[in-house]
Amino acid sequence: MKLFTRVLRNSAAAVLLLLPLFAMAAPVVVLNIQGPITPASADFIERGLQHAAAEGALLVILQLDTPGGLDTSMRQIVRDIVASPVPVAGFVAPGGARAASAGTYILYATHIAAMAPGTNLGAATPVQIGGLPDSEPEPKTKPRPPPGSPEPKPDEGRDQNVAKDDNMSTKNAMSRKAIHDAAAYIRGLAQMRGRNAEWAERAVREAVSLSASEALNLKVIDYVATDVPDLLEQVNGRRMTILGQNLTLDTGSATLEIVEPDWRTRALAVITNPSVAYVLMLIGIYGLFFEFSNPGFVLPGVAGAICLLLAMYAFQLLPVSYAGLALILLGMAFMVAEAFLPSFGALGIGGIIAFIAGSVMLIDIDMPGYGIPWPMIAATSLASASFLVFVIGMALKSRRAPIVSGREELFGAVGEVLEDTPGEGMARIRGELWSVRCTQPLVRGQKVRVTGIDGLVLQVDPVEK
């Protein structure tokens, strides 16, 4: 009995000693975000936050280095951060990185904001869309008249400038609405996280930027850290409220779990590239056109359908101008119609013009990296124009070529009579046997020329020697 008690006591002691090993600190998940904020970035962060919540992570660190990106993707990321049950730290790193434009909004949305030395953030003015002006022009002041001259009438000179001023005001109205909306959005994020809301508005309205040390002094960020371990050391013991629950970060013994983009994120990043989506659409349309023109090949139709569906999925995520997309489809329809209904280039030239205009208008945003490159537009337009020239050339060539088949080909053909006949008999013409009729008797071996066709009987005349 004493032996059993001793073994039980020793076992309990061993369990107590091993318990800290099983009660390991929750991991810290690191998501590395580099490059523009795209639908692929939003999908990667969304799934990364879900993974962190499922793993019971202590903290998620978004390591940012971005020049900005799409407004829709940025807002999706912000919504995911705000709704996350796991605290999220935004960390602009390594040195030389930046969180410009959309990156500034994301950093303001995070529960903890930090930057590495040598980094910057800001320039959060919305990128102009659809050709809107970047800012409102300064109002022009009228020069005062020289002393002694009569005062101008209140409305003098207004009629000639009123239309110009009204047009400028209409254009600026859309720009002002976008800036006011963005300013209110980032101000709300700043107030929610207790950060500098005044500077946040300046980043939107005046496109100002800050270095890491300046951002810390102005309370735009919470920490300046050299790397992730340094950041974890500084936030250790920090208290915060997440979705109404109070918690204290214990990052002293936390383990790092770095989540890399998987195949889905990389594939989504490729197909949502505007140039790739543009090429997929063209391959899809031409593949289906070839399949419908030559039923039974199967491969062009299958490949075309897959490419077209991928392109439509990408366009659903991108800021696409549907007017530009319609012009591209109309242009391709005109070029295809030229192949079947030769109009001596009218349909084809119109199709090329519509195709180029639609390609330029396709992506409805003026952000660098999101338009269709001019060399690609020129290359695809040149390829389509070459195809059109080839089709028109073949059509004109076929019109000039002599007829080599059909009933019309028999007119003027010379043959040989096979038997003596008073007016109707058999003759060999173009290697075929035909019934022939003539107004005068024919003898075997005599040469005759076809002058008409009556059903299956050829009208012939003797060939003069």
Half-sphere exposure in the Cβ direction for 438 (13 Å, CA): 25
CA atoms of 63 and 58, how far apart (whole Å): 16
Are residues 186 and 201 in contact, defined by beta-carbon separation less than 8 angstroms? yes
- Alpha helix ranges (H) inside 38-91: 39-55, 71-82
Are residues 95 and 119 in contact, defined by beta-carbon separation less than 8 angstroms? yes
State the pLDDT at residue 18: 43
- What letter would DSSP give residue 449? E
CA atoms of 146 and 154, how far apart (whole Å): 17
State the pLDDT at residue 374: 81
Closest C-alpha among 363, 291, 114 to residue 216: 114
State the pLDDT at residue 344: 67
DSSP states of 361-421:
HSB----TTSSPPHHHHHHHHHHHHHHHHHHHHHHHHHHHSPP-SSGGGGTT-EEEE-S-B
State the pLDDT at residue 394: 65
Are residues 91 and 64 in contact, defined by beta-carbon separation less than 8 angstroms? yes
Are residues 415 and 398 in contact, defined by beta-carbon separation less than 8 angstroms? no
Could you tell me where the beta strands, DSSP code E, fall in 35-144?
59-65, 88-92, 98-100, 112-115, 120-122
Closest C-alpha among 73, 17, 50 to residue 318: 73
pTM over 0.85: no
Could you give the domains of the chain? 24-138+158-262 (3.90.226.10), 265-400 (no CATH), 407-462 (2.40.50.140)
CA atoms of 74 and 76, how far apart (whole Å): 5
Sole residue written with tokens 């009123």: 162
CA atoms of 255 and 24, how far apart (whole Å): 9
State the pLDDT at residue 133: 38
Are residues 89 and 62 in contact, defined by beta-carbon separation less than 8 angstroms? yes
Are residues 354 and 346 in contact, defined by beta-carbon separation less than 8 angstroms? no
State the pLDDT at residue 157: 46
Per-residue tokens: 400: 């000039």
φ/ψ region of 219 (left if φ > 0, alpha if ψ in -120 to 50, else beta) reads left
Q: Which amino acid is at 434?
A: W
Q: Is the peptide bond before 94 cis (omega within 30 degrees of 0)?
A: yes
CA atoms of 163 and 234, how far apart (whole Å): 60
CA atoms of 187 and 191, how far apart (whole Å): 6
State the pLDDT at residue 123: 87
- What letter would DSSP give residue 446? -
Per-residue tokens: 370: 């999101």
State the pLDDT at residue 442: 86
Per-residue pLDDT of the chain (465 residues; tens, 9 = 90+): 555 455 455 555 444 444 444 445 589 999 999 988 988 999 999 999 999 999 999 999 999 999 888 888 999 999 999 999 999 999 999 999 999 999 999 999 999 999 999 999 998 887 644 333 344 434 444 445 555 555 555 444 444 444 445 544 545 777 788 889 999 999 999 999 999 999 999 999 998 999 999 999 999 999 999 999 999 999 999 998 888 888 899 888 888 999 888 888 888 888 888 888 888 988 888 888 777 777 777 888 889 899 989 988 888 877 788 888 888 888 888 877 776 676 667 787 888 888 888 888 887 665 555 667 788 888 888 887 776 677 666 656 665 555 555 566 777 788 888 888 887 888 988 778 888 888 888 888 888 888 888 878 888 888 876
Per-residue tokens: 314: 């990408």
Residue length of the chain: 465
State the pLDDT at residue 126: 79
CA atoms of 334 and 328, how far apart (whole Å): 10
